[in-house]
Amino acid sequence: MNEIKETIAILRARWPEVTFIIGLSVLSLFVNKLHLIAATRSTMFESLLGLGYLLLLFIINVMNLLLTIGFQKTIHLTGKQRKSPMVLLRTGRHFLGRMVKVGLILIPIYFLLIWLTFLIVKKATFIDTNFFKTAQSSPFLYQLCFAVPGFILIKPMLLMPTLIIVLDCQVFQSFKFLKKIKLFDAKELLALFLITTISTFSWAILPKLNEPISTWQFALIIFFSTLTRFLGLMVAVTAIRFVSSLNLEYDSITKDLNSENLLKPSVED
Where are the domains positioned within the chain? 2-257
* pLDDT value of position 30: 87
Please determine, for residue 184, whether its predicted confidence score (pLDDT) is greater than 60: yes
* pLDDT value of position 138: 78
Q: Chain-wide mean pLDDT for the chain? A: 85
Other beta carbons less than 10 A from residue 111's beta carbon: 12
Q: Using alpha carbons only, give the angle 9, 11, 17 rounded to the nearest 5 degrees.
A: 150
pTM of the model as a whole: 0.86
Across the range 58-64, mean pLDDT stands at 95
* pLDDT value of position 15: 95
pLDDT band at 39 (very low <50, low <70, confident <90, very high): confident
Give the chain as a 3 state SS string: CHHHHHHHHHHHHCHHHHHHHHHHHHHHHHHHHHHHHHHCCCCHHHHHHHHHHHHHHHHHHHHHHHHHHHHHHHHHHHCCCEECHHHHHHHHHHHHHHHHHHHHHHHHHHHHHHHHHHHHHHHHCCCCCCCCCHHHHCHHHHHHHHHHHHHHCHHHHHHHHHHHHHHCCCHHHHHHHHCCCCHHHCHHHHHHHHHHHHHHHHHHCCCCCCCCCCHHHHHHHHHHHHHHHHHHHHHHHHHHHHHHHCCCCCCCCHHHHHHCCCCCCEECC
Cβ-contact 32, 222 below 8 angstroms: no
pLDDT by residue (tens digit) across 120-161? 988 887 777 777 777 677 778 888 888 899 999 999 999 999
pLDDT by residue (tens digit) across 241-267? 999 999 887 765 544 455 445 555 444
Residue (of 176, 141, 132, 164) closest to 236 by Cα position:
164
Region for residue 212 given its phi and psi (left: phi exceeds 0; alpha: psi -120 to 50; beta: otherwise):
beta
Rounded Cα distance, 186 and 176, in Å = 19
Q: Facing residues of 83 across strands? A: 266
Alpha carbon 17 to its chain's center: 15
pLDDT band at 210 (very low <50, low <70, confident <90, very high): low
More confident residue, 141 or 28: 28
Across the range 94-116, mean pLDDT stands at 95
Per-residue burial over 18-35, b if 16 or more Cβ lie within 10 Å, else e, is bebbbebbeebbebbbbb
Percent of the chain with pLDDT over 90: 53
Rounded Cα distance, 240 and 6, in Å = 12
For 226, residues 6+ apart whose C-beta sits below 8 A from its C-beta are 22, 25, 26
Cβ-contact 244, 166 below 8 angstroms: yes
Cβ-contact 65, 92 below 8 angstroms: yes
